[in-house]
A and B are shown apart, each in its own frame.
Chain A
Amino acid sequence: MADLNTLTLAQARDALRKGETTAQELTQSCLTAIEGAAALNAFVHHTPERALEAAAAADARLAKGDAPAMCGLPIGIKDLFCTKGVPSQAGSRILEGFLPQYESTVSQNLLDSGAVMLGKLNMDEFAMGSSNETSVYGDAVNPWRRKDDSAALTPGGSSGGSAAAVAADLCLAATGTDTGGSIRQPAAFTGTVGIKPTYGRCSRWGIVAFASSLDQAGPMTKTVRDAAIMLGAMAGHDPKDSTSADLPVPDFEAALTGDIRGKKIGIPKEYRMEGMPAEIEKLWADGVAMLKDAGAQIVDISLPHTKYALPAYYVIAPAEASSNLARYDGVRYGHRAALDQGDGITEMYEKTRAEGFGPEVQRRVMVGTYVLSAGFYDAYYNRARRVRTLIKKDFEDVFADGVDAILTPATPSSAFALGQMKDADPVAMYLNDVFTVTVNLAGLPGVAVPAGLDANGLPLGLQLIGRPWAEADLLSTAYALEQAAGFVAKPDKWW
């Protein structure tokens, strides 16, 4: 058998059930890989003892023939998820020392399903970023490098640690969260699969909130099948999140037929951006050809308000963030600034937040404060919410015309170098999410699938967007695309 840490969830699950390996062996193999991968800075809080204990418990369950979907499978958890008794900082200094007294619903669902948590994964601070460079832990590093070039590349963000860890086989899979593209963009940058489910499919309870109307958790995995397995274990109604949907969770894996004959796939003309690299254009055309060969019907569609998605997002997300992050005030948890003689409570708030939040988080909180302030609320916030209604309607119209899924590029480029965007203005970084952010605004499911390599040997991904609650169907289409693309490349180990 190959090194155990390189297995997919499905392979490891099947091997466990056949008794060919044990959860403890699998876990030890991942822990060894993690120890040897400090250069990637993917895992930022390590829980090896806890992992080995959970693995032993999983082995006992397996021996009794009680093997739920994720039993004995070692995974990483993004630092945004509150995990009981284990540091959960959302990549921020302001949550230094915070030890949750509770477990997020999604991570609890995974634990109940037998999963083994290896530790917590690096991310952009409060999930605000597209390169993992805003993290208090420092940059996570992409295991992929350009051919004949040792420059360190970004794994994307905000779920950069999750993407790097899965791509480098440090864990079999990881959780991510996606507010504007934070699962799909890093998945595309690392040759992995990431799905953001329909808003409400996974409970947000216990996940540090960024923009509550956009945030969704999802799996980051090596294959589409693994995404189906893990999403099934994460999803489900939760009375503790009033926006979580009280709908049955289908068997996503059983739905992976890959038979897309007769399915209508829409190609939105507005995603053909000016200045789009020829390689992305070609990847997209290749994807169209693959789905067509597999029997799908390809139709040209229009999503006329696409251009306004990013500007609407950069009103709505900061507005919600400024409200959500008001709780970090140095009173109930995390960092509190040292005070000078005579400082009152306002100085405590102001100094605590200046010290605890990094520059990007400060910027977004202040932009959010501005767009919600008296006199500007209507001009910015309400206008953005109206535009959001129109963006959602664009998709509704297309689905009403019988389109089953929409194919787009996942990102406007392959992974860029860490530090490359240091002197760029903030908006240049925001453009990374140009193809993904519409999906959050419309609450739809979207999945990134690795589909090819660029001239430098870096992975590129395609995105499929589905109808609300149709993740099963979407994953089956993604499975067909994955089979056709036959992406098997792995990064050369340099770390």
Chain B
Amino acid sequence: MSIDESTAARVAKLARIKVEPEALPALAGEFNTILGFIEQLNEVNVDGVEPMTSVTPQVLKRRADVVADGDQQAKVLANAPDAREGFFAVPKVVE
């Protein structure tokens, strides 16, 4: 599996990271080095092996379905780059 520049550009888009066109060849090259390393996994026989979901066998705890927290608007907004009138502000999303 080899990654070309257009695949690298597509991955950057999916990851929401702006990559300048001139940086794409080097990026594709690095992906290929890393993926080449990962390809070794194809040597392993994984027939009938379950993918791991939890490294320590445990049943996730449940708690009562009641409000346990809240009313912290000021704290939630305290670190926002742009907060107005109790909301996070972002560029226009809907025309």
A residues with a Cβ closer than 8 A to B are: 97-99, 101-102, 198-200, 213, 239, 242-243, 245-246, 305, 307-308, 310-312, 314-315, 322, 326, 329-336, 339, 343-351, 353-354, 357, 362-363, 365-367, 369-371, 373, 380, 382-390, 392, 425-427, 430, 441-443, 468
In angstroms, Cα B71 to Cα A395, docked, is 47
Residue of A whose beta carbon sits closest to that of B61: A242
**Contact yes or no, B30 A426, CB < 8 A:** yes
**Contact yes or no, A308 B90, CB < 8 A:** no
- The prevalent SS among residues of A at the interface is helix
**Contact yes or no, B33 A426, CB < 8 A:** yes
CB distance from B82 to the nearest CB of A (A): 7
Other A-B pairs beyond A245-B58, A349-B16, A362-B15, 7, CB < 8 Å: A102-B75, A348-B91, A366-B12, A370-B11, A380-B38, A380-B41, A430-B37
Interface footprint category on B: 35 or more
Given A200-B56, A332-B80, verify A367-B93 contact (CB < 8 Å). no
**Contact yes or no, A246 B90, CB < 8 A:** no
CB-CB under 8 A from A322, the residues of chain B are: 15
In angstroms, Cα B80 to Cα A308, docked, is 42
Mask: chain B, 79-94; 1 = CB below 8 Å from A; 0 = not: 1111000001011110
In angstroms, Cα B54 to Cα A388, docked, is 11
**Contact yes or no, A367 B31, CB < 8 A:** yes
In angstroms, Cα B30 to Cα A357, docked, is 17
In angstroms, Cα B75 to Cα A102, docked, is 9
CB distance from B55 to the nearest CB of A (A): 3
**Contact yes or no, B91 A336, CB < 8 A:** no
Residue of B whose beta carbon sits closest to that of A333: B79
22 examples of A-B residue contacts, CB within 8 angstroms: A97-B79, A199-B55, A242-B61, A308-B44, A311-B40, A315-B38, A334-B79, A335-B81, A345-B93, A353-B15, A363-B31, A365-B17, A366-B31, A371-B38, A383-B41, A383-B42, A383-B44, A385-B52, A388-B52, A388-B55, A390-B44, A427-B33
Q: State which of B41, B58, B79 has its C-beta within 8 Å of the C-beta of A308.
A: B41
CB distance from A343 to the nearest CB of B (A): 6
CB-CB under 8 A from B58, the residues of chain A are: 200, 243, 245
CB-CB under 8 A from B14, the residues of chain A are: 369, 373
In angstroms, Cα B3 to Cα A245, docked, is 41
Is B34 an interface residue, CB under 8 A from the partner? Answer: yes
CB-CB under 8 A from A326, the residues of chain B are: 16
Residue of A whose beta carbon sits closest to that of B17: A353
Residue of B whose beta carbon sits closest to that of A314: B38
In angstroms, Cα B7 to Cα A369, docked, is 12
In angstroms, Cα B50 to Cα A391, docked, is 12
Given A243-B58, A305-B44, verify A389-B18 contact (CB < 8 Å). no
**Contact yes or no, A425 B49, CB < 8 A:** no
**Contact yes or no, B16 A353, CB < 8 A:** yes
Is B51 an interface residue, CB under 8 A from the partner? Answer: yes
In angstroms, Cα B8 to Cα A369, docked, is 11
**Contact yes or no, B41 A331, CB < 8 A:** no
CB-CB under 8 A from A213, the residues of chain B are: 54-55
Nearest 7 A-B pairs (CB), nearest first?
A443-B55, A385-B51, A333-B79, A336-B81, A386-B46, A350-B18, A354-B18
In angstroms, Cα B75 to Cα A371, docked, is 36
From 39 to 74 in chain B, residues with beta carbon under 8 angstroms from any chain A beta carbon are 39-44, 46, 49-56, 58, 60-61, 63, 72
Residue of B whose beta carbon sits closest to that of A389: B52
CB-CB under 8 A from B72, the residues of chain A are: 101
**Contact yes or no, B16 A346, CB < 8 A:** yes
In angstroms, Cα B29 to Cα A327, docked, is 27
In angstroms, Cα B42 to Cα A117, docked, is 47
Residue among B11, B31, B54, B60 having the largest count of chain A Cβ atoms under 10 Å: B11
In angstroms, Cα B78 to Cα A371, docked, is 35
In angstroms, Cα B38 to Cα A374, docked, is 18
Residue of B whose beta carbon sits closest to that of A378: B51
In angstroms, Cα B60 to Cα A380, docked, is 27
Residue of B whose beta carbon sits closest to that of A365: B15
**Contact yes or no, A442 B33, CB < 8 A:** no
CB-CB under 8 A from B88, the residues of chain A are: 331-332
CB distance from A79 to the nearest CB of B (A): 16
CB-CB under 8 A from B49, the residues of chain A are: 386, 389-390
**Contact yes or no, A366 B11, CB < 8 A:** yes
CB-CB under 8 A from A389, the residues of chain B are: 49-52
In angstroms, Cα B93 to Cα A109, docked, is 42
Residue among A347, A349, A366 having the largest count of chain B Cβ atoms under 10 Å: A366
CB-CB under 8 A from B8, the residues of chain A are: 366
